[in-house]
Amino acid sequence: MTVMTAPPAELVGDGRLVDLDTPRGRLVGIRSGAPDGPKLLALHGWLDNAASFIPLQRELAGFDLVALDLPGHGASAHRAAGYDYVFVDWIHDVLDVLDALGWHSAMLLGHSMGGAIASMAAAASPARVERLALIEALGPISGKPGEAGERLQKAVAARRALEARASAVELPRLPGERAPRSSRAMASVEAALAARLAATPMAPDCAELIVRRNLRIAGKGVAWRSDPRLMLPGHIRTDEAVIQDWLRHIECPTLVIAADPAPPYFAPEVRDARLAQLRDARVEVVAGGHHLHMEQPAIVGALLRDFLGG
């Protein structure tokens, strides 16, 4: 194992870092491609970061591509103390970034959670979204009404427990409640990479891109720089019927790229029922894992270029 003695390198591939001032804090992205090309904003998945789009940079070289570190991820600012990562706020983050870039409208590319956010931004502000390309997502994960009360209790208890630990006051957790991941130090980048691969099966070289961007120096080792609040359970998950109604308000052409086998939270029957709500949409199923845009960039890139028109 190699012990870190210097900050991990900022891996930006063919791109360059860009700082964006928004009303709720500094956000950071990786900008690549053609400055005069079609405007394309890319949103990563939960606990990933902008580096997850590095494998697609050359595939999308004809676009003005900005891959964002969402709030609490990568090098972007965390939410202010005392606040949660509420889903509707992600929509405003997207619109704030478009404003900061000076883009009246743009195309959105989203993976997993980023695809859910892109979906909702397109539904909420259709004039700002020209085309919508989604990888392993279409709208947020739905919830069951019968589980809403228990979810609320667990979410409130988990947040208060996290705040108590931060102030060295211990509060009891509900039975079966998992403590959120801490920002504890690890010996090396290799240790962090092993932890990520244990949680998310994917190609090690792809995982390393994400992991290195999400590390900070901690003593003689490294620690995650993502916000621990991202590990807290959400207070609310919306009913499927409501999500489908939201999706009916998307006006732009939409492409969904789905992995086969499908993850349990994006089953084909859920995906197809949601696609049926859209005015202009199609799905492409690609054999592979959840991070297929990183592991098979040539295949995914060709589908994106064909759809986005670059």
Catalytic residue at 112?
yes
**In this structure, are strands 129-135 and 106-111 parallel, antiparallel, or unpaired?**
parallel
Cβ-Cβ contacts under 8 Å for 146 (sequence gap 6 or more):
none
Cβ-Cβ contacts under 8 Å for 300 (sequence gap 6 or more):
56, 59, 135, 257, 286, 292, 293
Q: Which residue has the tokens 């799905």?
A: 283
Cβ-Cβ contacts under 8 Å for 83 (sequence gap 6 or more):
none
Question: How buried is 259 (Cβ within 10 angstroms: 0-12 exposed, 13-18 middle, 19+ buried)?
Answer: buried
Cβ-Cβ contacts under 8 Å for 205 (sequence gap 6 or more):
none
Q: Are 32 and 13 in contact (CB under 8 A)?
A: yes
Alpha-carbon gap, residue 200 to 188, rounded angstroms: 19
Taking the CA atoms of residue 38, residue 41, residue 42 and residue 43 in that order, the dihedral angle to the nearest 10 degrees is -160
SS3 content of the chain, % helix, strand, coil (to 5): 40, 20, 40
Alpha-carbon gap, residue 227 to 291, rounded angstroms: 22
Q: In what order do the strands lie in the sheet with 281-287?
A: 16-22, 25-33, 64-69, 39-43, 106-111, 129-135, 254-260, 281-287
Active-site residue, selected from the candidate residues 32, 52, 112, 119: 112
Q: Catalytic positions, please? A: 112
